[in-house]
Chains A and B, each alone.
Chain A
Amino acid sequence: MHIQKQILEQDVLEASIERITWTLENFSKVCVSFSGGKDSSILLNLTAQIARKHNKKFSVLFIDWEAQFNYTITYVEQMRVDFQDVIERFYWVALPLTTQNGLSQFSPTWQCWEPGAEWVRQPPEHAITQPNTLSFYEQGMTFEAFVGKFADWFANNRPAAMLIGIRADESYNRFMSIASARKMRFADDKPWTTAAPRGHAWYVYPIYDWKTADIWTWFGKTKTPYNPLYDLMYQAGVPARYMRICEPFGPEQRQGLWLYHVIEPERWAIMCERVSGVSSGGIYAGQDNQFYGHRKLLKPDHLSWREYALLLLDSMPEQTAEHYRNKIAVYLRWYEKQGISSIPDTQSNDAGAKDIPSWRRICKVLLNNDYWCRALSFSPTKTSTYQRYHDRIALKRKEWGILCNSN
């Protein structure tokens, strides 16, 4: 599929103001998804300005990951106070959420604000810490499930918009979430809207066409304060395109992990105790090397990719290995049913964004600690149904004869 970009007359700022204005005028409920990062900061600033001008109000969703820089927390708090006059409700969520931990084979998932664990820091007083505050919340649900259900809950059976600050030039996946011809748009001329899977919520991406340089141009021209972490990252030599501030341990996010060590050593120390693999992550993540198979994917000479994948599986902690075996079996089974009885050991472009099957790709997933197997086109399994799913697939594997102990 080839998607052609059409260049508009307007610049990105004018266009975004128009999109946000349209959103505030057409939806009775609007919520900005805010992370403290530069993109969502622009979105929040623009939305607040426009809301003031048109006498509207909106809500904000901020997911507090517990393991966050103080700079970010201080900045988010500042924004909360600064925009109080136009913010209907600021959902500062500090509830246990499960997300993948791209740093560890021993604890491949991680739960922020896990009950009983020694937290890296305490949530602010006004944060949502009581599970029953949000009726849809389930203990330890995944971040992805939370975000989806939050939108439905927020809409409450009326049209509502979730404003999200993703940009197409960030990654292929993000480009597709804007450009996909298959998704449901609000209207034909609004490709920057997507219907949420259920209910009445719409995801709106008003700054989807901004480039990284546009972001900094805006902060530069308007002299709007931003998260000071970016200056520190800049001083630390992090290229602008890598400056992400969000959950810290995913395969993408771990690139910036070493910064904690440099910028907030005390917090780093506590994180090393709290989260498995943080210490080695600080050494190996953020470089292109074979440790996590990031851009440099190597295998031992004496093994084929398939053999290497099996060795990786066999040497992992058993529970983690079984999780991956299930995913890989489903993957292989799918190709079997397409008439591809065995996927190749390697083929061209098999380690890229597009899912081109091979054992090399599977090795990449395993080395990457890509626990949800996104690179094999899976999405996260819901926490509540995980065990059932796990047991069912484990049985199926024997039926299919894929990755059961006999091979």
Chain B
Amino acid sequence: MQQQLMQALDDFLNTLAVEERISAINDFRRLLHEHSPFSDQPVDCVLWVKSSKVSPNDYNPNNVAPPEKRLLLKSLEADGFTQPIVVQEDTPDHFEIVDGFHRHELGKTRASLKRQLLGYLPVTCLNRERSSKTDRMASTIRHNRARGRHQISEMSEIVRELTRSGWDEERIGKELGMDSDEVLRLKQINGLTELFAGRRFSRAWTVK
């Protein structure tokens, strides 16, 4: 039975053009979601919707400065979208962002991402029953703030690992979004002379 269904699904999807295929996949996902034992978990159903149907909220206090924004873009380009934008369906077929404003913005405006995403964004909807603005605001803040800070000594260990596997300071800085001072200090904190084997020798000197 499952085998047959899969085959039928495969055949059916093959007949569809891109837009129709996305829409059909969304429908299937909604159906699967209804039957899923995890139907109370928003991430169980990630839908691809036209980015024009997704709008920012009017209260988000989170501000991302250019260095972080560059890193976010790098992250989206290197790893792709690894989690959906969290939204609430405010009017039928229209969504307000609860979390992921900056990813949404990059996905919507950066040419490279726009091409890859075909003008769509991955979203997951919060429970429709809790849809008041205060609920959404609280949810946004929880998303923004419930995350840790990197411990310096552990970061320093990671920089050591990367250095040992041949990454130079410039590459570490670029891939991890650190400025040169941060990379240097994290290496120094480790206290390992070998980490500086790559640096140039000091200037020679003589006396008259």
Contact = CB atoms under 8 A, between A and B. Distances in A.
Interface of A: 103-106, 261-262, 265, 268-269, 272-273, 276-284, 289-291, 298-300, 302-303, 308, 311-312, 314-316, 318, 321, 367, 395, 398, 405
Contacts of A269: 65-67
A106 B63 CA distance: 28
A155 B142 CA distance: 59
A405 B189 contact: no
Nearest to A296: B152
B202 A302 contact: no
Contacts of A278: 179
Given A265-B63, A314-B196, A299 B191 contact: yes
B182 interface: yes
Q: A-side binding surface: helix, strand, loop or mixed?
A: helix
B67 A290 contact: no
B202 A318 contact: yes
B181 A104 contact: yes
Given A103-B181, A279-B67, A280-B182, A300 B192 contact: yes
B63 A311 contact: no
Contact of A315 (B180, B199, B203): B199
Interface in B102-127: none
A374 B193 CA distance: 28
A282 B179 CA distance: 11
A140 B128 CA distance: 62
A66 to B, nearest CB: 18
A290 B188 CA distance: 11
Contact of A398 (B65, B184, B191, B207): B207
A261 B67 CA distance: 11
Interface in B149-183: 152-153, 178-182
A405 B205 contact: yes
13 contacts: A106-B180, A261-B63, A269-B65, A277-B179, A277-B181, A279-B178, A282-B65, A283-B182, A291-B185, A300-B191, A315-B199, A398-B207, A405-B205
B207 A280 contact: no
B203 A318 contact: yes
B187 interface: yes
A67 to B, nearest CB: 14
Nearest to B184: A105
A186 to B, nearest CB: 45
B190 interface: yes
A280 B191 contact: no
A300 B199 CA distance: 20
A198 to B, nearest CB: 36
A298 B185 CA distance: 13
Contacts of B66: 269, 272-273
Given A281-B181, A300-B189, A315-B196, 12 more contacts: A105-B184, A262-B63, A265-B63, A268-B65, A276-B180, A276-B181, A277-B181, A279-B182, A280-B179, A291-B185, A315-B188, A398-B207
Contacts of A291: 152, 185, 189
B180 to A, nearest CB: 6
Q: B-side binding surface: helix, strand, loop or mixed?
A: helix
Nearest to B208: A395
Contacts of B207: 395, 398
Contacts of A104: 181
Contacts of B181: 103-106, 276-277, 280-281
A391 to B, nearest CB: 11
Given A261-B63, A405-B202, A276 B179 contact: yes
A265 B65 contact: yes
Given A280-B179, A314-B196, A405-B202, A300 B190 contact: yes
A289 to B, nearest CB: 6
A277 B65 CA distance: 15
A269 B65 CA distance: 6
Contacts of A106: 180-181, 184
Contacts of A262: 63
A272 B65 contact: yes
B206 to A, nearest CB: 10
B150 to A, nearest CB: 9
Contacts of B65: 261, 265, 268-269, 272, 282
Nearest to B195: A315
A265 B95 CA distance: 27
Contacts of A281: 181
A210 B179 CA distance: 40
B178 A280 contact: yes
B156 to A, nearest CB: 9
A300 B160 CA distance: 13
B187 A279 contact: no
A250 B187 CA distance: 23
A89 to B, nearest CB: 38
B152 A311 contact: no
Nearest to A303: B191
A323 to B, nearest CB: 13
- B66, B190, B205, B207: residue with the most chain A Cβ atoms closer than 10 Å: B66
Contacts of A302: 191
A261 B63 CA distance: 8
A279 B65 CA distance: 10
Contacts of B179: 272, 276-280
Contacts of A395: 207
A134 B179 CA distance: 37
A367 B181 CA distance: 11
